[in-house]
Chains A and B, each alone.
Chain A
Amino acid sequence: MYIKATIVFGRGKSFSCSIETTENGVNFTPFDLNLFAIRFKVLGSPTSDAKVLLDHIITQNTDILTEGQIDDPDNGKFTFVVNAEDTKKLGLGHFPIAIELLDADTLEYVDTITEGKQGEEFNKIYITEV
């Protein structure tokens, strides 16, 4: 399943996310985000060399309304935001997104939450007029 978030141009919207882990695909445990930060990117194309049109670093202290926030790190929950200004910058259309785990202290890349494949589905947002 891939994210396909629709946002009305000029309005902005926040989206909550949670991360769980499983070993057997049966039992799922919340992923502890206390040691991590989240990076939310809007890309120009679903390629690795795509231009980053929007880049938000989300931590436990960022503004939950404009940037997003790791609001429940113990349970692996966080919120990412595409605010009204971001929609104006991006304009209308579909934009691939990427959500990455970063080390909370060094902000070094750890892992990508949203994996997509070339030629296949990928996570994206859709900015519409209405």
Chain B
Amino acid sequence: MADFKFYLNRSGMRGAKGEKGDRGFSPTIVEGTNTVNEYTLKIVNEFDEFETPNLRGDNVDILDPNGTYVRYDHQTDKLYVASADLANSTDAGIIRIATPEDFEVFSNDTAVTPESMIDELHKQLVSPDGSISIEQNSETSKTELKFSGTGAINELEQRVTELDTKTDNIRADLTTEAQVREAADIQQQNQIDTERQERETQDASLQEQLNSKLTVDNIKEGNNITITRDGNNITINSTGGGSSGGGDVTSDGNNIFTGTNEFRGQNKLRVGNGTDYAIIANYSSEIMPVTESDIQTTEGLVIGSSVISTVLEGEDVFKRVWNTQTSRMELSPVIDATMVDNQTIKFDNGELKADLSEIGDEVNTLAGKVNTLETKVDELQLFKFPNATIEGSPTINNGQISNFNTTNYLRFPFEFKTEGRTWLLNGSFDTNTDVTTQQNIIDSSTSIALAVRNSKLVLALSTNGTNFNLGEHESTNNILANTKYYYRLSFSGTQYQLSTSTDKQEWLSEITIDSDQPIASKPMTISSPGHPFGGVINLNDYDLTVANTLVWQGMDDVGMASRMDVNASNITQTGIDKLKELLLGDIESLVDAINVNYDSNNSTSPVQDLAATPMMLSLETTELDVENSFTSDKPKAEFSDDLVLPTNSVESYDDDTDIDLGGNV
């Protein structure tokens, strides 16, 4: 059942207007509690009264009466009035502006404003040494720093002053030192001058003493020396001898060289007319024959042992002859008028002349024979012979070998022995129409085999000497018929290589075999009995180089073999000797054809005599004019007691005497 029931639309008759009611009662309202946290009103009705609830709402606790901030307590969920927290290094808060007192205590919880900073800055800057004045400008409020020049500057000034003093002291010391040294130098110089004067005085005294020694009694004449005195001058003359150490040695009169004289060096003998001279080279035990390089004249030419001179006369051309009776080398004329045929060579007014007209035809004949001889010699030099042993009778034509068969082939003159060195074999072959059947170019039992077969070049190598252990290898390219091929077969130390060419310009690598083993040493043939080569092998193209040294050529220079009608199969040593004999006979007959016959006692031709006997040049003059002159201003000569100048002309020589005119006399 409901506590209350409401009836809607329930209404009765409208009643009459009632009487005006009594005046109602108006409640009174008075203030109840009025505090910071609470405010209430008391309402007094006609019959009762009540007090309102706290009209201030939620209470705010006043924890700090002086606080001006309303704060919130998370724990109690209440508001309260308190002071704000101050800011510090870890927590945010309020901060106040720093005061001058804060600056004094270096406050860490106050803030500096620009104004406070400007006002306090000058108080916080200090100049310990007072060198800088710090003041705040009252007009601009800026802190001004002024350098007052004290402290450090004074110290600097003091140091500079000290350095100046030290510098002056050092300068004074140096000056003093210099003065002392200068004085010492002067003293030393004075000493030197004094000593020099003393020495000069001594030298003068010595000179005077020396001069006093140069008196007649002190300087004696020796052999061949004459001394003449004229005042202070002493003249020393020698009647012979010469000067030493270069310069001219001349003296008037005849000079005689006696005794054993030595004229060393290169000596020049001046002929009496003063223009021509001869040079006699050094010799050991006898006077050497004068040779072309030793003798020169202003005219003519001295050739070998013959002398051609326009001034020679019969008695002037001498030859050296040993006189067994006198045991001296004497000169005897080699050619005199009686020895000249006066036909080809004649004396004409004392001149030895050759009449070439007499021998003109003979010279022409000689020239012709010489030309023929030269041609034959050239032919001989060009002749070559196969440098191999010929088996059977293959056809040989200027080194081109053909007509090989089972009995016709060539043997290498040696076993192919390289001992592991690098080698290169050059060769060639001309194929014929058949390039199918095997035809050996080079063959050996077990060493190297090179053949044409089935249009290929086949190479077989053996390093063990037992079988072709390196196998058979075919060329890359085909071999054509009727074609000449050059080939190169080589060993590099690690590889065998075969190349071919048709023009010796462009080479094709045909076969390459890697191996560091040397070829077995076996006899080898060119062509072979078993598989004869059908074409032509040209030995002129063959050679073998081992370790870069040519050791064999297919064709060897034989020389005189062509003078005989020999062929490759019958040349022997006897035949070669015969060839030499014939050729030498040709030369001798040629020499005979140019000999000149003389109607003289000489059965032999002067040509032969000239060839056998050298001649010497003898000078016209028989005396040597040696001029000696000694004066005081010339280097003084050194005289030796052993010096003896010859007394006679130069007619004979002592074989044991060395003639030296270039050294000391």
Contacts and interface: CB of A to CB of B under 8 A. Distances in A.
A17 B50 contact: no
A19 B50 contact: no
Interface of A: 3, 5, 15-23, 25, 28, 31, 77, 89-94, 99, 111, 113-114, 119
B4 A3 contact: yes
Given A93-B48, A119-B24, A19 B6 contact: yes
Contact of B21 (A89, A99, A113, A119): A119
The binding surface of chain B is classed by DSSP as loop
A21 B50 contact: no
A126 to B, nearest CB: 9
28 contacts: A15-B4, A16-B1, A16-B4, A17-B3, A17-B4, A17-B6, A18-B4, A18-B5, A19-B6, A19-B7, A19-B8, A20-B5, A20-B8, A21-B8, A22-B10, A25-B11, A25-B12, A28-B7, A91-B50, A93-B43, A93-B51, A94-B45, A94-B48, A94-B50, A111-B8, A113-B6, A113-B8, A114-B6
Contact of A15 (B3, B8, B9, B11): B3
A4 B45 CA distance: 17
A112 to B, nearest CB: 10
Interface in B81-126: none
A17 B53 contact: no
A91 B53 contact: yes
Contact of A23 (B1, B9, B24, B52): B9
A104 to B, nearest CB: 17
A36 to B, nearest CB: 12
Nearest to A21: B8
Contacts of B10: 22, 25
B50 A92 contact: yes
Interface of B: 1-12, 21, 24, 43, 45, 48, 50-53
Given A19-B8, A21-B9, A77 B50 contact: no
A17 B24 contact: no
A64 B8 CA distance: 24
A23 B10 CA distance: 7
B95 to A, nearest CB: 44
A22 B9 contact: yes
A15 B4 CA distance: 8
Given A17-B2, A77-B2, A119-B24, A90 B8 contact: no
Contacts of A19: 5-8
Nearest to B1: A16
A22 B1 CA distance: 19
Nearest to B27: A45
B596 to A, nearest CB: 174
Nearest to A15: B3
Nearest to A115: B6
A18 B12 contact: no
A3 B2 CA distance: 12
Contacts of A99: 6
Given A91-B52, A93-B50, A22 B3 contact: no
A20 B51 CA distance: 37
B136 to A, nearest CB: 67
Nearest to B49: A93
- The 6 A-B residue pairs with the shortest CB-CB distance in the complex, in nearest-first order: A93-B50, A18-B2, A16-B2, A91-B53, A15-B3, A17-B4
Contacts of B12: 25
A91 B11 CA distance: 36
Residue among B8, B9, B48 with the most chain A CB within 10 A? B8
Given A17-B4, A89-B53, 13 more contacts: A15-B3, A17-B3, A18-B6, A20-B5, A20-B7, A21-B8, A21-B9, A23-B9, A25-B12, A91-B51, A92-B51, A93-B43, A94-B50
Contacts of B43: 93
A1 B599 CA distance: 212
A22 B10 CA distance: 6
B7 A21 contact: yes
